[in-house]
Amino acid sequence: MTTRTPPGPRGLPFVGNTHQWARDPCDFRERCAEEYGRVVNFEIIGWDAYMLTDLADVKRVLEDTDTFPKHDSSTDELREIVGDGLLTSEGDRWERQREAIRPAFFMSNIKNYADVMVSRTEDTVGRWRDGGTVDLRDEMMRTTLEILVESMFGEDIDLAARGIYDAVEAMQEPMKPQNQPVTFLAPDWAPVPFLRRANRARDHLDAQVYDIIDERRRADTDREDLLAMLLDADAEMGDDQIRDEMLTFLFAGHETSALTLTYVWDLLSRNPEAEARLREEVDAVVDERPTVEDVFEFEYAEAVVREAMRLYPPAHEIRREPAEEVTFGDYAVPEGSMLVLPTWVLHRDDRFWDDPEAFRPSRWLDGESRDRPEYAFFPFGGGPRRCIGQQFAMTEAQLVLATMADEWTIEREYGDLDLSAAVTLQPKGDVPVTTRRRERDDRAPRATPKAERR
């Protein structure tokens, strides 16, 4: 079979298709998939990119990590923030790290964090006023950060006193949509204020994490947080490696969860029937406050979270880099190029989804979900590198959602969110919402108490 170069949109000299990508990456990828099909070739920011839209090709790339390792340049950008942790390492090193870390994310251990998830959410909504206005994304970011820090380090860590809030915020600033052109194009020596703040914040956060690790190594106490499990899992794991893993959890874990919850409530605010059905389930399942046992009984709450991740996957694309020249059908893709697996596009592809633009959580509860092909939905990636924190994230999302829905409703008074497909898929601006406390007579009767149901 003769191989040929895949088709794709024509670009401009020097910049390729960067201008089209920068204008609206999600729309650009959707149009490319519709017009050019299985493999699409384009150029962005100097990278020769090949987007794959056939699910068999996606499966092949995600499950063959030797031939298709992570895209080197993209990974280097993350490595600047989180070091050489599980998210950025490769090969034997990655396998050893994953094996050491995996037990910390067994469901038996995630149960230890469930009360933290609920308690920190109660702290958040405890600051709300009936009829008040909050920035939903900021509220979810703070909540998931508090959950993750306490789950990692324990309840005795004062985030504000240690400057962790400010450091994390400063380190995320270069990745904000409006700052990314400067972040990617400015030379290292350029005196860019937000880049300098990010560098200082990284040094500060390093020092805080090392200090916490040192305190824990010297302490003679039994703990059940993630750090204790890492220290117990591999006595030979040095402080540098543990630091990298802690920062990986911190940055890869809290932002994606916060974005998912932001999109959940945005969608519910625009779909009152779905919100009412969610509240009925919460009222029926939850006794006094949500617990990890409730997660096993939730059906609609889980469907709401999955449907939000389908429509707005925080990891809107996955990038890989062929270690050798490869072919997909009769198309050739050269070694060292950038493979793009477009989560956003495939999650909205009408080959796999009925009425794909609609928010319809019930699609996860009927026969449609059983017939869906593999990799039509992959918000946590796939293959050996599937997100190790998937169960943690799903448990957290449902417990946070149930805790909020039990007492509050959220109103948004304008249309669809304006999105930016940066490193993660995120709103371009603030997400102001009005918080309304639920009236007591608005609640459905509680179901049989758990003790009797069991």
User: How far is the C-alpha of 118 from the C-alpha of 124, rounded, in Å?
Assistant: 10
Query: pLDDT tens across 265-281, in order?
Result: 999 999 999 999 999 99
Query: pLDDT tens across 229-264, in order?
Result: 778 765 566 788 888 888 888 777 889 999 999 999
State the pLDDT confidence band at 1, using cuts at 50, 70 and 90: low
State the pLDDT confidence band at 443, using cuts at 50, 70 and 90: low
Which candidate, 136, 200, 125, 137, places its Cα nearest to that of 168?
200
- Boundaries of CATH 1.10.630.10 in the chain? 84-315+381-453
Q: Is the distance from CB of 395 to CB of 292 less than 8 angstroms?
A: yes
Query: pLDDT tens across 41-64, in order?
Result: 999 877 899 999 999 999 999 999
- Boundaries of CATH 3.30.43.20 in the chain? 1-70+318-347
* Statement: residue 9 has pLDDT above 80: yes
User: How far is the C-alpha of 213 from the C-alpha of 328, rounded, in Å?
Assistant: 47
What would the CATH number be for the domain defined by 1-70+318-347?
3.30.43.20
* Statement: residue 454 has pLDDT above 50: no
* Statement: residue 113 has pLDDT above 80: yes
Q: Is the distance from CB of 315 to CB of 424 less than 8 angstroms?
A: yes
Least confident range of 78-92, 97-111, 333-347, 396-410: 78-92
Phi, psi of 131 (to 5 degrees): 85, 5
From the options 1.10.630.10, 1.10.3720.10, 3.30.420.40, 3.10.105.10, give the CATH code of 84-315+381-453.
1.10.630.10
State both tokens at 395. Answer: 């448990």
Look over the chain and give the mean of its residue pLDDT values, rounded to a whole number: 87
